[in-house]
Chains A and B, each alone.
Chain A
């Protein structure tokens, strides 16, 4: 593991918002919205299905269905599924930012490590001399 170079006690200035990478900022904002959608779907689906679908004994004559689907499945799962799809369409086409993801620096990581390795070898050789 690499050694951390800054001590915990050393206060560091918080980077200004305008220094921050816009892709990072947009992604973070979008992730929060997605998390909110997930939480809302969890809350509605599990709560509704538990309250209406965990009834136990059901006679065929008492069965409530919507288009052949048990009503707790229809309102607790099928409808929110379609609403989630509608939200996804809005999110993808109206909310999510088109960002420039930048050039791919192919091989940069390995090149940096090779350079560091050679520098280390050079230092070691000079040390021996």
Chain B
């Protein structure tokens, strides 16, 4: 077999990434061990699932921030900045108020209400506040339904990042070969790469082990460490990115000249048939004429005659030309901006990715690019609504911008994993200081990320075929250019930390739902502490292993799943929780209606997305369109879900009897 091009991420033979990962993992295990000691001294359930409500400022602030910053913040978000440009600053703009909204809206009250009843989980709060076992179970069902999706998606994100981190480490390559040879030939594993499988199990076992063993405090302490890693990673990348582009002014002016690359259906033809099959790997560059790449331009040499520029393409997926055949049809990315072509030529990192055999490329068809690819659209990366290959209205039309202002700030308030953390701080003084801390923390992360990955667009053209890899690729590019390749390990640890901190929290939430909300509160309220303890360990372990197996052949659309889960949970939980905490008149029928109303409205928008009018008739599209929902009045389903949830909850509450007086006294009157 002829392997034409590789896409190495870290310098071959470098073990720096492996050392980084090992040191990092050891720290996590040490924190889990310390946390497990605490479990022996305190009430098991409260300690294991809520840290005994004892979190101080740093622990509370950083666990809150790190849990909210999921894998999406360091994989999906950078990919979107890279693909759509400066408009992502508007997409993420509501993070200016996310800390004060997500912590300040409900924080003090939910903490107090949980203390009154001794609630440990969010379904506990709902069940106790409304004295309704059925409502508690409904809340459990919603959490398990949504969060399971999220857990599998996050496992995939963690594994992909680890794979990128270790791809070129020799030990890892050897281990991958062993796994590839011993992988059973079953349909379930078909198409799953050995390296992904290995990373999934390494990542999964590490997270499941420390979460199971250490419980909530292990999760919080590792979150603190991961939170620090994230902000340090961003703070290192920012000046490096600005240095490489020659400053932000230069980067922005370069972006003004760019047009998005186009996808073309093309036929690749060899100069002569080969006796073995020819494989062209994903992300390989093809230049026509072929000899154009040598010698590469020196950095700074930007004067290239237009006639000397080649046609430049990049593979989007692996292309195989069978033995004895001359050609194969595939899809390619075609670079159309002259400065991008020059940049590829002068970037040493890309040298290694060029196809070594000459190919002729016949463009069969240029695939449509819905918004921003026409010559008159130049500057599209600097303005709204931003380029978008699939939506004619662009990436972020006006109503979508409004929707996303709701999405992050308001839907973040309605996330059960955030609510659990709000039940765990030790005093309102801690809450005040933590809101301030998280506000500064997010300011240091999110706006700089927009700058860094706008610079990435200038520095690393042609990543549109695999944009989720832009974060690790940029980390390697920046550090290798200053001769500090080992630093890439630390930078790639930032997104890895973000995924880990989300996975552990979600894992614990599902586990608490099963042990506390289903078993203890519905099956055997008098269960012994010892049984609870071993059950908690076992369920956390089983859920973790289940999610890991689910991620062996994971669903695609990572960012879409994360958005679906986040908006769905908010549509279900925000209204019942706001009513329950701030409106004395709220009763069980009203709160249940709010939850179900939000769920149904949100789901309806997604199901409706699978149907479109085409040629005058209603057509069912494939299941993947579930994640491309119907935008009623151009509004995101989160707004429709929240609107229906609040209105339905209000109307039903008003039409049904007031709640029992003793509940109002307990939760709304001074003790």
Contacts and interface: CB of A to CB of B under 8 A. Distances in A.
Contacts of A104: 46, 53, 114-115, 118
A114 interface: yes
B631 interface: no
A6 B664 CA distance: 12
Contacts of A87: 100
Given A6-B661, A58-B378, A107-B118, A37 B97 contact: yes
B97 A41 contact: yes
Contacts of B134: 1
Interface stretch (B104-112, B300-308, B551-559): B104-112
Interface string A104-129: 11111110011001000000000000
Contact of B443 (A6, A27, A85, A106): A85
B670 A22 contact: yes
Contacts of A72: 383
A117 B94 contact: no
A97 B660 CA distance: 30
B670 A59 contact: no
B73 to A, nearest CB: 16
Nearest to B242: A68
Contacts of B521: 109-110, 113
A45 B96 CA distance: 10
Contacts of B93: 41, 45, 49, 76-77, 80-81
Interface string A9-44: 000100100011111101110110011011001100
Contacts of B116: 102, 105, 108
B651 to A, nearest CB: 14
Q: Which of B119, B383, B581 counts the most A-chain CB atoms under 10 A from its CB?
A: B383
Given A54-B383, A55-B383, A58-B383, A85 B378 contact: no
Contacts of A50: 384, 398, 401
3 nearest A-B pairs in the assembled complex, by CB-CB distance: A68-B248, A58-B379, A68-B249
20 contacts: A2-B130, A2-B132, A4-B588, A4-B658, A5-B660, A8-B655, A21-B112, A23-B108, A41-B94, A46-B398, A57-B378, A60-B253, A84-B100, A84-B439, A85-B443, A101-B428, A102-B116, A106-B118, A110-B118, A114-B526
Given A68-B251, A105-B118, 20 more contacts: A1-B134, A2-B131, A6-B657, A8-B656, A21-B669, A24-B667, A24-B668, A31-B105, A50-B401, A65-B252, A68-B250, A70-B86, A76-B93, A85-B439, A96-B428, A99-B112, A101-B427, A103-B115, A107-B43, A108-B116
Interface of A: 1-2, 4-8, 12, 15, 19-24, 26-28, 30-31, 34-35, 37-38, 41-42, 45-46, 49-50, 53-60, 63, 65, 67-70, 72-73, 76-78, 80-82, 84-85, 87-89, 91-93, 96-110, 113-114, 117
